[in-house]
Each structure stands twice: as structure tokens, then as C-alpha cells.
Amino acid sequence: MFCFKCGASMPDDSTVCPQCAAPVQGVPLPAPPPPAPQAGAPVPASTSAWLNVPPAQYPSQGQYSPQALYPGQSQPYSGMAQAQTDGGAIVSLVLGISSFALCLSFITGIPAIIVGHISWSKIRRSAGRLKGEGMALAGLILGYLSLPFILIVAAIAIPNLMRARMSANESAAMSTVRTINTLQVTYDTMYPSQGYAPDLSALGNGPGDTCNGTGNAEHACLLDGVLGAARCTSGVWCSKGAYKYTISSNCGAPSLTAKNEQQGDEGACKEFVIVASPITSTNGLHNYCSIKDAVVRSRSGGPLTVPPTVEECAEWAPI
């Protein structure tokens, strides 16, 4: 062997170098190589700290979730916003329940159907952004179920409303006939030489439908300008409301130059007939008339074209 200090050759069993007297130190022999690992044997982990990486931990089957892979997130990831319930579906359901369960079909049944159809169409076109299709469908069904009640109510209410309207029109016509009859008595009192007014125009305001506060036998300013217009002469119909009116007589036009004579003279108008007839068949079912006895009489039938005579009116049924 050789001295590690001076490099001199020396025997293998020497303890001191014979040339430099340096002690001989044992040099460790290199360790033999580790045996080759056998197939299937586990590979030992590296003894180096920076190479000793712990193995990755994977969740077991059935535990895979976004929370397991991303523990810092409190909510799972979603690719789209959560679907919202359409407000129209809720409104349609509430109206449908009200129309069917609370007997409010006339008020809420048709709105439930309209809102339900709008909501149903909106939800179908939203591509999943809106929900509530079941509520809209329920509102539609309840709304349609209430339609028979609406039809029944309409079938009862409309004829009653028509009859009530006709009754009101007929009452107004009878009242107008009585008023005109009273004005005839007033006219006869004011102008005894003329007797009764021969037509509605004589009771009215005259040309222009105006009255200066001083009436005369030709236009007494006793009747309003609608029925007492200048064109409302004997046998001419003048309308007011749902009825038409006329005064029919055989008397001549009032004379402003006639001398005052006692009532009953040949120049006085002694007979007249007041007639009221509906303008159309839907406005009333009765015609009315009155003569100088001030009794209002009626006869059922459609609108008249020719007013009755005094004798014909006397045959009608008194009211």
C-alpha cells in the first residue's frame, strides 16, 4: 500500500510510514451496491427530505364533489343562474283559485286565463331561465272551469238588465205624457180663446228654441226646446230619450189676432191626443197616449208610424 501523506510504498501490515513516520489510517471500503429489487416488491421511499413527497390523496368512489376538489369554495360551481319563478304564473294561479273557489268567476276568471296564457308562453320561450309552468297551467284550468259560471250569470243578468232598461224608458215616457197633459190644461187656462194647444210647437219656445220670458198662443214657452221645437207640429214625431212624442189634433194654428172669446166657442181647440212610442223595439214594449180626460193609456206593440186618433186612444187600456 502507499502512504497517504508522502506516497511512499510500504508493506500492507505497516502502522507507520517508514519514510515520513506518518501513521497509517484505515480507508473505508466502498459499500457494496444494493441488490436489485425483485418484481412486485415495494420500492422504498427516498431518504432525502426534499424528495420525500407525500402521495396525492384522491377521494374514494361516491365522494367526488366540487367541495372535495375545491375545499375553499363554500358553494358549488354552477354554469348558469338558478331559474326564477315567473310572477305571471303565480298571479294566474291566485286568480284561478279565486274564480273557482270563491265564486268570483265574473271578476277573476277571464283575467286568470289571459295572464295564464301569457305566462305559459313566456316560460316556454325562456329556455329554462323561468319556471312555474305548473302554476300557470293550474291557473288556466281553473279559469276555464269558471267560464260556465260566467255564461250562466250573463244569461241571467243581460235579460234582466234589458228589462230594467225598458222599464225605465217606459216610466220616463209615461211621466212625459202626464207632464204634457198638465201643460195642455195650463195652456187652455192661459189662452181660453184658443182652447188646447194643437201641437207640441205651440207649447214650446218657437223658432230658435228660445224664449224671452213672454210666451204667446203660438209659442207658450211652457215646454222644453227638445219636444217644443218649431218643427214639432201636429202629427210630427219629436224624440227625447228612448221614445218619440207627438200631439195630434184637427185644430188650426193659434191666431194671435183673435178676440178673446169664452172657452167652448167654435174657434177653440177642443180635442187632442198625446202619443208616446218607442224609437226601436229594444227601447220599450208599450205605446202610451192621453186625451183631454188626463188618463194615460197604454198598448203593447212595436213603434208606431201613425199616431192614433182620439177615438182609438180612448180604447187603449188605462194605467
Residue by residue, DSSP assigns 258-278 as PPP--TTSTTSB---EEEEEE
Average pLDDT of span 53-67: 56
Mean pLDDT of 55-59: 58
| Alpha helices in 19-132, H assignment, sequence order | 66-69, 87-101, 110-125
Q: What is the pLDDT of residue 43?
A: 54
pLDDT score of 253: 74
Q: What is the pLDDT of residue 77?
A: 47
Greater confidence, 153 or 47?
Answer: 153
Tell me the C-alpha distance between 27 and 37, whole Å: 29
pLDDT exceeds cutoff 70 at 44: no
With a pLDDT cut of 70, the percent of the chain lying above it is: 73
Crossing angle of helices 133-145 and 147-190, in 10° steps, is 50
Question: What contacts 43, CB < 8 A, 6 or more positions away?
Answer: 37
State how far the Cα of 227 lies from the Cα of 211, in Å rounded to an integer: 14
* 92-110: burial string, b at 16+ Cβ within 10 Å, e else: bbbbbbbbbeeebbeebbb
Task: Give the range among 147-151, 168-172, 241-245, 309-313 with minimum mean pLDDT.
Answer: 147-151
Supply the pLDDT for residue 262.
42
pLDDT in tens, 187-227: 999 999 899 999 999 998 867 656 766 778 888 999 988 89
The Cα 283–Cα 296 span in angstroms is: 19
167 pLDDT tier (thresholds 50, 70, 90):
very high
Strand-pair category, 317-318 with 243-248: unpaired
Cell digits of residue 140: 288556466
Closest CA to 276 of 180, 168, 165: 180
Helices 110-125 and 133-145: crossing angle in degrees, nearest 10, is 150
Phi, psi of 284 (to 5 degrees): -175, 160
Rounded CA-CA distance 8/2 in Å is: 5
Cβ neighbours of 42 (radius 10 Å): 6
What is the helix, strand, coil percentage profile of the chain, to 5?
Answer: 35, 10, 55
> What is the structure's pLDDT at 180?
96
For the cut 70, the answer to whether the pLDDT of residue 108 exceeds it is: yes
Residue 130 CA to residue 133 CA, distance in Å, equals 9
Q: What is the CA radius of gyration of the chain?
A: 58
The distance from CA 22 to its chain's CA centroid, rounded to whole angstroms, is 119
Nearest to 272 by CA among 203, 220, 190: 203
Tell the residue number behind the cell numbers 259560471, with chain if given. 149
Residue-range domain boundaries for the chain: 84-145, 165-318
Structure-block grid coordinates of residue 316:
187603449
How, if at all, do strands 238-240 and 273-278 pair? unpaired
pLDDT score, position 120 = 87
H helical segments located in the chain:
66-69, 87-101, 110-125, 133-145, 147-190, 200-203, 310-314
Average pLDDT over residues 75-104: 75
Q: Per residue in 254-295, pLDDT tens?
A: 766 644 444 445 668 999 999 999 999 999 999 999 999 999
Q: Given the C-alpha cell 319556471, which residue does it identify?
A: 131
Task: Kindly report which listed range (12-21, 158-167, 186-195) carries the lowest average pLDDT score.
Answer: 12-21
Band the pLDDT of 246: cuts 50, 70, 90. Answer: very high
- 3-class DSSP assignment, residue 170: helix
Residue 253 near residue 194, CB atoms below 8 Å:
no
